[in-house]
Structure 1
Amino acid sequence: MHGGPKGPQKAAPGTTRRIFGYIFQYKWRVVAIVLCILVGAAAQAGSALFLQSLVDSYILPLVGAKNPDWGPLMRALTLMACLYVAGIFCSWLWQWLIVAVEQGTLKKIRDDMFAHQQTLPIRYFDTNEHGDIMSRYTNDTDT
Structure 2
Amino acid sequence: SMKRYVSFLMLVSWQKDKSDQQQVKQSPQSLTVQEGRISMLNCTYENSAFDYCPWYQQLPGKSPELLIALHSVQETKEGGRFTVFYSKSDQRLSLNIRASQPRDSVSYFCATSTQCSPGPCKLYINLQLRLWQTFLKDCKLAQI
Give the TM-score of the pair, scaled to structure 2: 0.25
Hey, which of these two has a bigger chunk of helix by percent?
Answer: 1
Give the TM-score of the pair, scaled to structure 1: 0.25
